[in-house]
Structure 1
Amino acid sequence: MISVTRLGVILTDRGSKYAVSGAGVSTRAEIDAVLGDLKSDKSYAKATHNTWAAILPTGALKADDGESGAGMVILRMLERVGLENHVIVVTRWYGGKKLGGDRFRRVQDATRAYLDQIVTLP
Protein backbone atom coordinates (compact mmCIF):
# COMPACT_ATOMS: atom_id res chain seq x y z
CA MET A 1 0.00 0.00 0.00
CA ILE A 2 1.36 3.39 -1.00
CA SER A 3 1.28 6.13 1.62
CA VAL A 4 -0.02 9.36 0.08
CA THR A 5 0.84 12.65 1.76
CA ARG A 6 -1.94 15.21 1.31
CA LEU A 7 -1.35 18.79 2.34
CA GLY A 8 -4.90 19.71 1.36
CA VAL A 9 -5.86 23.17 0.11
CA ILE A 10 -2.82 25.33 0.67
CA LEU A 11 -3.66 28.45 -1.34
CA THR A 12 -6.41 30.25 -3.20
CA ASP A 13 -6.29 32.78 -6.02
CA ARG A 14 -9.36 34.55 -7.41
CA GLY A 15 -11.62 31.74 -6.30
CA SER A 16 -9.44 28.87 -7.53
CA LYS A 17 -8.23 26.53 -4.81
CA TYR A 18 -4.99 24.57 -4.98
CA ALA A 19 -4.05 21.44 -3.05
CA VAL A 20 -0.89 19.36 -3.27
CA SER A 21 -0.24 15.68 -2.60
CA GLY A 22 2.51 13.19 -3.28
CA ALA A 23 3.96 9.77 -2.62
CA GLY A 24 7.02 7.66 -3.16
CA VAL A 25 6.62 5.64 -6.37
CA SER A 26 8.83 3.59 -8.67
CA THR A 27 6.45 2.60 -11.51
CA ARG A 28 3.68 4.06 -13.62
CA ALA A 29 1.27 1.62 -12.01
CA GLU A 30 2.11 3.11 -8.61
CA ILE A 31 1.47 6.62 -9.97
CA ASP A 32 -1.92 5.41 -11.20
CA ALA A 33 -2.59 3.96 -7.73
CA VAL A 34 -1.80 7.33 -6.12
CA LEU A 35 -4.12 9.12 -8.56
CA GLY A 36 -6.80 6.51 -7.90
CA ASP A 37 -6.42 7.00 -4.16
CA LEU A 38 -6.80 10.77 -4.51
CA LYS A 39 -9.79 10.48 -6.82
CA SER A 40 -11.49 8.07 -4.41
CA ASP A 41 -12.11 11.26 -2.40
CA LYS A 42 -15.13 12.93 -4.04
CA SER A 43 -13.65 16.43 -3.80
CA TYR A 44 -10.49 15.38 -5.67
CA ALA A 45 -12.53 13.44 -8.23
CA LYS A 46 -14.54 16.62 -8.93
CA ALA A 47 -11.43 18.84 -9.21
CA THR A 48 -10.91 20.68 -12.47
CA HIS A 49 -7.28 19.51 -12.76
CA ASN A 50 -5.07 16.89 -11.11
CA THR A 51 -1.71 17.75 -12.68
CA TRP A 52 1.29 15.60 -11.81
CA ALA A 53 4.92 14.73 -12.53
CA ALA A 54 7.45 12.12 -11.44
CA ILE A 55 11.00 11.04 -12.24
CA LEU A 56 11.24 7.25 -12.32
CA PRO A 57 14.15 4.93 -13.13
CA THR A 58 12.58 4.55 -16.60
CA GLY A 59 12.45 8.34 -17.16
CA ALA A 60 10.36 11.40 -16.46
CA LEU A 61 6.57 11.31 -16.67
CA LYS A 62 4.05 14.14 -16.44
CA ALA A 63 0.42 14.93 -17.16
CA ASP A 64 -1.29 18.30 -17.43
CA ASP A 65 -4.88 17.05 -17.00
CA GLY A 66 -6.12 20.05 -18.98
CA GLU A 67 -3.87 22.62 -17.26
CA SER A 68 -1.53 23.04 -20.23
CA GLY A 69 2.13 23.22 -19.21
CA ALA A 70 1.58 22.63 -15.49
CA GLY A 71 3.07 19.12 -15.48
CA MET A 72 6.33 20.53 -16.85
CA VAL A 73 6.44 23.10 -14.04
CA ILE A 74 6.25 20.30 -11.45
CA LEU A 75 8.78 18.17 -13.35
CA ARG A 76 11.35 21.00 -13.55
CA MET A 77 11.06 21.56 -9.80
CA LEU A 78 11.57 17.83 -9.14
CA GLU A 79 14.66 17.91 -11.37
CA ARG A 80 16.01 20.98 -9.58
CA VAL A 81 15.94 19.30 -6.16
CA GLY A 82 16.91 15.89 -7.55
CA LEU A 83 13.85 14.13 -6.18
CA GLU A 84 13.36 10.81 -7.94
CA ASN A 85 10.88 7.98 -7.36
CA HIS A 86 8.25 10.41 -6.10
CA VAL A 87 5.08 11.77 -7.69
CA ILE A 88 3.72 15.22 -6.89
CA VAL A 89 0.09 16.02 -7.74
CA VAL A 90 -1.18 19.61 -7.79
CA THR A 91 -4.98 19.73 -7.69
CA ARG A 92 -6.95 22.79 -8.80
CA TRP A 93 -10.61 23.58 -8.37
CA TYR A 94 -11.41 26.34 -10.86
CA GLY A 95 -12.90 29.40 -9.21
CA GLY A 96 -14.51 31.06 -12.22
CA LYS A 97 -11.78 33.56 -13.16
CA LYS A 98 -8.93 32.86 -15.55
CA LEU A 99 -5.53 33.28 -13.91
CA GLY A 100 -3.43 33.54 -17.06
CA GLY A 101 0.27 33.05 -16.36
CA ASP A 102 -0.37 33.29 -12.62
CA ARG A 103 -1.64 29.71 -12.72
CA PHE A 104 1.96 28.55 -13.24
CA ARG A 105 3.07 30.54 -10.19
CA ARG A 106 0.34 28.87 -8.13
CA VAL A 107 1.49 25.42 -9.34
CA GLN A 108 5.05 26.40 -8.35
CA ASP A 109 3.85 27.64 -4.95
CA ALA A 110 1.96 24.40 -4.29
CA THR A 111 4.89 22.24 -5.40
CA ARG A 112 7.31 24.29 -3.29
CA ALA A 113 5.08 23.87 -0.23
CA TYR A 114 5.12 20.10 -0.73
CA LEU A 115 8.87 19.97 -1.28
CA ASP A 116 9.41 22.07 1.85
CA GLN A 117 7.48 19.43 3.80
CA ILE A 118 9.37 16.39 2.53
CA VAL A 119 12.84 17.49 1.44
CA THR A 120 15.36 18.59 4.01
CA LEU A 121 18.06 20.56 2.31
CA PRO A 122 21.55 20.74 3.86
Structure 2
Amino acid sequence: MLVLDKIISDRGSKYAVSGAPCSSEAEARALIEALRSRKRFAKATHHSWAYVTKDGPAKNDDGEAGAGMVIVRMLERAEMFDHLVVVTRWYGGKNLGGDRFRHVQDAVRLYLDHRAKEAG
Protein backbone atom coordinates (compact mmCIF):
# COMPACT_ATOMS: atom_id res chain seq x y z
CA MET A 1 0.00 0.00 0.00
CA LEU A 2 1.35 3.40 -1.01
CA VAL A 3 1.14 5.86 1.91
CA LEU A 4 1.69 9.61 1.55
CA ASP A 5 1.79 10.87 5.14
CA LYS A 6 1.73 14.39 6.61
CA ILE A 7 0.61 15.96 3.33
CA ILE A 8 -1.89 18.54 4.63
CA SER A 9 -2.10 20.42 7.92
CA ASP A 10 -4.86 22.88 8.84
CA ARG A 11 -5.86 24.23 12.27
CA GLY A 12 -4.30 21.26 14.00
CA SER A 13 -5.81 18.59 11.76
CA LYS A 14 -3.36 16.46 9.80
CA TYR A 15 -4.05 14.41 6.67
CA ALA A 16 -2.54 11.44 4.89
CA VAL A 17 -3.64 9.54 1.79
CA SER A 18 -3.05 5.87 1.00
CA GLY A 19 -4.05 3.46 -1.72
CA ALA A 20 -3.62 0.09 -3.35
CA PRO A 21 -5.19 -2.11 -6.02
CA CYS A 22 -8.53 -3.43 -4.75
CA SER A 23 -11.52 -5.10 -6.37
CA SER A 24 -13.77 -6.15 -3.49
CA GLU A 25 -15.05 -4.97 -0.15
CA ALA A 26 -13.23 -7.84 1.59
CA GLU A 27 -9.95 -6.65 0.04
CA ALA A 28 -10.73 -3.06 1.00
CA ARG A 29 -11.42 -3.99 4.62
CA ALA A 30 -8.19 -6.03 4.80
CA LEU A 31 -6.15 -3.13 3.38
CA ILE A 32 -7.75 -0.64 5.77
CA GLU A 33 -7.17 -2.99 8.71
CA ALA A 34 -3.50 -3.26 7.71
CA LEU A 35 -3.28 0.54 7.55
CA ARG A 36 -4.94 0.89 10.96
CA SER A 37 -2.48 -1.61 12.43
CA ARG A 38 0.31 0.93 11.93
CA LYS A 39 0.90 2.70 15.23
CA ARG A 40 0.44 6.25 13.89
CA PHE A 41 -2.65 5.38 11.84
CA ALA A 42 -4.27 3.53 14.74
CA LYS A 43 -4.61 6.91 16.48
CA ALA A 44 -6.33 8.64 13.53
CA THR A 45 -9.84 10.02 13.91
CA HIS A 46 -11.13 9.14 10.41
CA HIS A 47 -10.23 6.75 7.60
CA SER A 48 -12.57 7.75 4.74
CA TRP A 49 -12.24 5.45 1.74
CA ALA A 50 -13.64 4.48 -1.64
CA TYR A 51 -13.00 2.34 -4.69
CA VAL A 52 -14.81 1.85 -7.99
CA THR A 53 -15.23 -1.48 -9.80
CA LYS A 54 -17.21 -2.50 -12.87
CA ASP A 55 -20.04 -3.29 -10.44
CA GLY A 56 -20.04 0.27 -9.14
CA PRO A 57 -18.54 2.23 -6.27
CA ALA A 58 -18.11 1.33 -2.62
CA LYS A 59 -17.33 3.93 0.03
CA ASN A 60 -17.23 4.65 3.73
CA ASP A 61 -17.12 8.12 5.29
CA ASP A 62 -15.94 6.88 8.71
CA GLY A 63 -17.51 9.89 10.40
CA GLU A 64 -16.46 12.46 7.76
CA ALA A 65 -19.90 12.87 6.17
CA GLY A 66 -19.61 13.07 2.38
CA ALA A 67 -15.89 12.33 2.17
CA GLY A 68 -16.39 8.88 0.60
CA MET A 69 -18.44 10.34 -2.24
CA VAL A 70 -15.77 12.98 -2.92
CA ILE A 71 -13.24 10.14 -3.32
CA VAL A 72 -15.62 8.15 -5.57
CA ARG A 73 -16.17 11.12 -7.90
CA MET A 74 -12.45 11.77 -8.21
CA LEU A 75 -11.67 8.11 -8.93
CA GLU A 76 -14.40 7.99 -11.58
CA ARG A 77 -13.13 11.19 -13.23
CA ALA A 78 -9.58 9.83 -13.25
CA GLU A 79 -10.88 6.48 -14.55
CA MET A 80 -8.97 4.72 -11.77
CA PHE A 81 -10.89 1.51 -11.28
CA ASP A 82 -10.19 -1.42 -8.95
CA HIS A 83 -8.10 0.82 -6.71
CA LEU A 84 -8.76 1.75 -3.07
CA VAL A 85 -7.97 5.27 -1.85
CA VAL A 86 -8.07 6.10 1.87
CA VAL A 87 -7.91 9.65 3.23
CA THR A 88 -6.87 9.65 6.88
CA ARG A 89 -7.46 12.57 9.23
CA TRP A 90 -6.19 13.25 12.70
CA TYR A 91 -8.65 15.77 14.16
CA GLY A 92 -6.90 18.83 15.54
CA GLY A 93 -9.63 20.19 17.80
CA LYS A 94 -11.16 22.81 15.49
CA ASN A 95 -13.96 22.29 13.00
CA LEU A 96 -12.84 22.88 9.42
CA GLY A 97 -16.29 23.29 7.91
CA GLY A 98 -16.30 23.00 4.13
CA ASP A 99 -12.51 23.17 4.02
CA ARG A 100 -12.41 19.49 4.97
CA PHE A 101 -13.85 18.61 1.54
CA ARG A 102 -11.13 20.66 -0.14
CA HIS A 103 -8.54 18.79 1.93
CA VAL A 104 -10.00 15.41 0.91
CA GLN A 105 -9.91 16.50 -2.74
CA ASP A 106 -6.34 17.78 -2.40
CA ALA A 107 -5.24 14.54 -0.73
CA VAL A 108 -6.78 12.38 -3.47
CA ARG A 109 -5.31 14.64 -6.17
CA LEU A 110 -1.84 14.26 -4.61
CA TYR A 111 -2.27 10.49 -4.60
CA LEU A 112 -3.47 10.35 -8.21
CA ASP A 113 -0.61 12.63 -9.33
CA HIS A 114 1.92 10.46 -7.50
CA ARG A 115 0.54 7.29 -9.13
CA ALA A 116 0.62 8.95 -12.56
CA LYS A 117 4.29 9.92 -12.08
CA GLU A 118 5.13 6.34 -11.03
CA ALA A 119 3.37 4.95 -14.12
CA GLY A 120 4.85 7.48 -16.54
TM-score, normalised to structure 2, is 0.94
Determine the structure 2 residue equivalent to 1:17.
14
Q: Distance in 2 between matches of 1:56 and 1:33?
A: 17
Match of 1:119, SS state, is helix
Name the structure 2 match of 1:5.
2
RMSD: 1.4
Q: Give the counterpart of 1:41 among 35, 38, 41.
A: 38
| Moved segments of 4+, more than 3 Å | none
Name the structure 2 match of 1:56. Answer: 53
CA shift for structure 1 position 33: 1.2
Count of aligned positions: 119
Percent of aligned positions that are identical: 58
Q: Which runs of 5+ in 1 are unaligned?
A: none
Structure 2, unpaired ranges of 5+: none
1:1-122 equivalences under 5 Å are 4-119=1-116
Matched AA of 1:102: D
Letter in 2 for 1:31: A
User: What TM-score, normalized to structure 1?
Assistant: 0.93
Distance of 1:57 and 1:36 partners within structure 2: 24
Equivalent-residue separation in structure 2 for 1:80 and 1:107 (angstroms): 15
> Structure 2 counterpart of 1:12, which letter?
S
